[in-house]
């Protein structure tokens, strides 16, 4: 079994930031990532709120953080999924699709995944017009009619991104107002090719080989109507990737987010959580980075026990 001092699960903003601080503290640090390093940051069309970068594509920002992490001396194993954790002993065991590892401390930075709306047609047309990522699939619908579902920041940024690609963008939100930042809502209102339907639910996604129509229900009017669209972008929030942690005895809140304190400690000594998988109320690149840094420095204290470490 390979031996490491610190193993970080997930190479998103939180995991990569933790990696930089872990390696720079002198810890033998490994990051295990089931996809390619970069995480959800890569899905953000444009990032305009990460300090130091007034405007940068999510892909470029993710690349820069990954490169920085590699330069710090972290080993990143990509395309390897962590399947099981044994956190009962002093040495923590991490099993993956490739092998098993041992570490003195673990940071769980597995992020979250897109929520589904659970209507007829959503599963059938996934990848055939139904998408959860505007920046990944938006360019496929250049000059077409697209629908965005949701009212938060993800729905708003996806709408703005798609308005520069698609001919028409319709946004459907089941409540009577957006939850997104005011600046984004104003930007949406200024776009000539964007129409907004509030108090409206999507009841079905229809098509043949590809998506052709959606069935909408106007909750105020009590009316059902059909709208012709070529793609549906579901942007109704995320759920945490916390299953392996839960199975290993890590405490989570009602929604499944890992409970961590201001030191990013979980209920198991030597196990930390950082980023979107935690119950921290803000889910941003900046907060993920901050939590990753705190987790790595705490893991350092736990492993090396310097005189100033608060037990
Ligand atoms: C469309 C969109 C736009 C956004 N725009 C902005 C923005 O403008 N500004 C901003 O600050 N934030 C933005 N965000 C939010 C931001 O991207 C996230 O808050 C941040 O990336 C979270 O980082 P993380 O490291 O916690 O999680 P992630 O980046 O999701 O990383 C988690 C990683 O863990 C890996 N993983 C999961 N399970 C396993 C496993 N079992 N084994 C191995 N690896 C695993 C995943 O593959 C993933 O790479 C946006 C998000 C979206 C979706």
Tell me: the pLDDT tens digits for 264-300?
A: 999 999 999 999 999 998 889 999 999 999 999 999 9
According to DSSP, the residues that pair with 86 across neighbouring strands are: 93
Output the furthest CA–CA distance in the chain (Å, rounded).
68
- Expressed in angstroms and rounded, the spacing between residue 78 Cα and the centre of ligand 1 is 15
Main-chain phi, psi angles of 113, to 5 degrees? -125, 165
Question: pTM of the entire structure?
Answer: 0.83
Q: Kindly tell me if the per-residue pLDDT of 47 is higher than 90.
A: no
- pLDDT reported for residue 135: 79
**Cα dist from 14 to 185, 275, 288, 306, whole Å:** 28, 5, 4, 24
User: Can you give the pLDDT at residue 238?
Assistant: 87
How many Å apart are CA 156 and CA 44, to the nearest integer? Answer: 11
Average pLDDT of the chain, as a whole number = 96
Q: Is 137 a catalytic residue?
A: yes
Beta bridge partners of 168: 145
Q: What is the pLDDT of residue 127?
A: 86
Sorted by sequence, the CB contacts under 8 Å of residue 1 that are 6+ apart come out as 93, 99, 100, 101, 102
* Residue whose CA is at the smallest distance from ligand 1 atom 23: 13
Span 35-47, average pLDDT: 90
| Position 196 pLDDT exceeds 90 | yes
What is the reported pLDDT for 202? 98
**Residue 195: is its pLDDT beyond 80?**
yes
Q: Whose CA is nearest to atom 9 of ligand 1?
A: 47
The mean pLDDT of 7-17, rounded to a whole number, is 98
Q: 14: pLDDT confidence band, cut at 50, 70 and 90?
A: very high
Can you give the pLDDT at residue 311?
86
Pocket of ligand 1 (CB under 6 A): 9-15, 32-35, 39-41, 43-44, 47, 49-50, 81-82, 109-111, 154, 157-158, 241, 244, 275-276, 283-286, 288
Q: How would you class 209 by CB atoms within 10 Å of its CB: exposed for 0-12, middle for 13-18, buried for 19 or more?
A: exposed
Q: Is 254 a catalytic residue?
A: no
Query: pLDDT band for position 81 (50/70/90)?
Result: very high
pLDDT(200) > 80: yes
- Percent of the chain predicted with pLDDT > 70: 100
**The dihedral of CA 134, 236, 214, 186: what is its sign?**
negative
Give the position of tokens 């459907």: 172
Q: Whose CA is nearest to atom 49 of ligand 1?
A: 39
Q: How confident is the model at residue 136 (pLDDT cuts 50, 70, 90)?
A: confident
Band (pLDDT 50/70/90 cuts) for residue 208 is very high
- What pLDDT score was predicted for residue 173? 98
Cα 14 to ligand 1 centre (Å): 8
Q: Catalytic residue among 84, 136, 176, 253, which?
A: 136
In the predicted model, is pLDDT for residue 45 greater than 80? Answer: no
pLDDT at 237: 87
Provide the pLDDT confidence category of residue 103 given band limits of 50, 70 and 90: very high
The two beta strands, 223-228 and 211-218, are: antiparallel
**Residue-level pLDDT at 43:** 83
């Amino acid at each position: 079994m390979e031996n490491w001092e610190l193993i970080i699960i997930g190479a998103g903003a939180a995991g990569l930031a933790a990696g930089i601080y872990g390696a720079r503290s002198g810890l033998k640090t490994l990051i295990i990532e089931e996809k390619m390093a970069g995480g959800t940051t890569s899905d953000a069309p444009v990032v305009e709120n990460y300090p130091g970068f007034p405007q940068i594509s999510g892909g470029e920002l993710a690349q820069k953080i990954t490169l920085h992490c590699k330069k710090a001396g972290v080993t990143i194993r990509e395309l390897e999924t962590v399947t099981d954790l044994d956190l009962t002993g002093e040495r923590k065991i991490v099993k993956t699709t490739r092998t098993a590892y041992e570490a003195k401390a673990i940071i769980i930075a597995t992020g979250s995944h897109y929520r589904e709306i659970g209507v007829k047609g959503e599963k059938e047309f996934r990848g055939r017009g139904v998408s959860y990522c505007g920046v990944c699939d938006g360019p496929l619908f250049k000059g077409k009619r697209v629908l965005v579902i949701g009212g938060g920041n993800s729905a708003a940024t996806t709408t703005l991104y798609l308005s520069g690609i698609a001919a028409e963008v319709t946004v459907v939100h089941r409540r009577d107002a957006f939850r997104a930042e005011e600046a984004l809502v104003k930007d949406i209102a200024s776009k000539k090719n964007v129409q907004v339907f509030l108090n409206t639910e999507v009841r079905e996604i229809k098509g043949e080989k590809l998506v052709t129509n959606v069935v909408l229900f106007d909750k105020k009017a009590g009316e059902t109507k059909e709208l012709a669209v070529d793609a549906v972008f579901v942007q109704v929030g995320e759920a945490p990737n916390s299953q392996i942690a839960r199975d290993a005895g890590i405490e989570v809140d009602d929604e499944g987010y890992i409970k961590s304190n201001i030191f990013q400690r979980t209920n198991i000594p030597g196990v930390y959580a950082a980023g979107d998988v935690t119950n921290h109320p803000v889910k941003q690149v900046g907060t993920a980075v901050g939590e990753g840094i705190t987790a790595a420095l705490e893991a350092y204290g736990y492993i090396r026990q310097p005189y100033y470490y608060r037990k």
